[in-house]
Structure 1
Amino acid sequence: MSFPHGAGLHTVRKLIYGMNLTLDGYIAAPGDDIGWSGPPSDELFRWWLGQERASGLTLYGRKLWQTMSSYWPTGDQQPNATPWEIEFARNWRDTPKVVFSSTIAEVGWNTRLVTGDAVAEITRLKAGDGGPLRIGGATLAGAAMRAGLIDEYALVTHPVLTGGGTPFFTALEGWVDLNLVETRTFPGGVVLTRYETRRR
């Protein structure tokens, strides 16, 4: 099988959507409460750190950006910070980030603000060069999910039911076929499942 010159050579950057979530599928309980997850085990924290290190660019919606930027810019200066938290804070500051919001006026810490069409910008970023893209925040990820842009889902499921809140998945207009590529258990009954989108 041969390609025309240059065809089939450019690979699109992978877009990964990964979050902590409850067994009944919520990333936050009612009132944006994320206290159900508790402090992560060292093993789980190291896994998340590895994911962040492997990322070429992180995409945030407004709520998740405000949560992350309220702590991690100085997370390595907290009195009880573990070596992993110190490394996470430094990596967080160094990793390029994009925040999608029409209500935030300015952002810092190696971050660019996008106020326009999120799907168009994510599509443009995927077509560029660089490492994998990570996306976080239910509203932003939901828009990317509906547009068929997400290549991998990483569900870090905690053994708790909240009965409501902000769902990890959004409503979709059609089916999305997935391949299971990894399962792993962490202390405290936390289970990781990673799925890749099966492109038709």
Structure 2
Amino acid sequence: MRKLTFAMNTSLDGYIAAPGEDLGWSVPSDELFEWWSDRVAATSLALYGRKMWETMSADWPTADEQPGATPAIIEFAGRWRDMPKMVFSSRAIPVDWNARLVTSDAVTEIARLKAEGGGPMDILGAALAAAAMRAGLIDEYILVTHPVLLGGGKPFFTSLDDWVHLNLVETRTFPDGVLLTRYETIR
């Protein structure tokens, strides 16, 4: 069975975006950016919600062609384009860059993907991850916590019907007081 991971930057008070979708608080250090890039390279399939897809596909397809693109940005952009992706949306939207659109029920499709076996999958996007959380499909949570309080915005976690018990399996500190915590779901 494939492993499904939800990994995002989060504020100390649990938000992945500030009000107005502001992400300016989560600019990564070089070391953290390298960690994210390595994660993209190791992901067999990325599952995107529509909004996260629109955010990522607005920049990364051509980020390596922009003036001043650093070697790290060039590497990430190539890895991002090469990574297989599925985009979940209830309406038809354009997808490209090794991605395919899925308009059927996300939870059913994610459960099918997990059961078919294969390499690790990442889920990206708050609404899509929330549906997978409520269905008990997420095997691992990675919180990359930045030392900032946002006071509101888009939460990392959704409301759940039942408790989800987790086991801490890794911690790592990055520059600027950023802390990575990785948890596995206890089943």
Aligned to 2:74: 86
Among candidates 20, 39, 61, match of residue 31 of structure 1: 20
Aligned to 2:184: 196
**How far off is 1:102 after superposition?**
1.7
**How far off is 1:104 after superposition?**
3.9
Aligned to 1:61: 49
Among candidates 174, 177, 185, match of residue 186 of structure 1: 174
In 1, the alpha carbon distance for the partners of 2:25 and 2:107 equals: 31
Aligned to 2:65: 77
Aligned to 1:9: none
State how many pairs are aligned.
187
Among candidates 90, 94, 110, match of residue 106 of structure 1: 94
- SS of the equivalent of 1:84 reads helix
Please list, as runs of the form range in 1=range in 2, the aligned pairs for 1:75-154 lying within 5 A after superposition.
Answer: 75-154=63-142
In 1, the alpha carbon distance for the partners of 2:25 and 2:186 equals: 32
Q: What fraction of aligned residue pairs are identical, expressed as a percent? A: 70
In 2, the alpha carbon distance for the partners of 1:184 and 1:105 equals: 37
- SS of the equivalent of 2:148 reads coil
Two-structure CA RMSD over aligned residues (Å): 0.8
Q: Do residues 14 (structure 1) and 3 (structure 2) align?
A: yes
In 2, the alpha carbon distance for the partners of 1:77 and 1:175 equals: 46
Task: Look at both structures and tell me which one has the larger radius of gyration over its CA atoms.
Answer: 1
- The runs of 5 or more residues in structure 2 that have no matched partner are none
Deviation track 1:33-69 (CA, whole Å, cap 9, x = no partner) reads 111113x111101111111111000000011100100
In 2, the alpha carbon distance for the partners of 1:116 and 1:163 equals: 35
Q: Displaced runs of 4+ in structure 1, greater than 4 A?
A: none
Deviation track 1:1-21 (CA, whole Å, cap 9, x = no partner) reads xxxxxxxxxxx1000000001
- SS of the equivalent of 2:62 reads helix
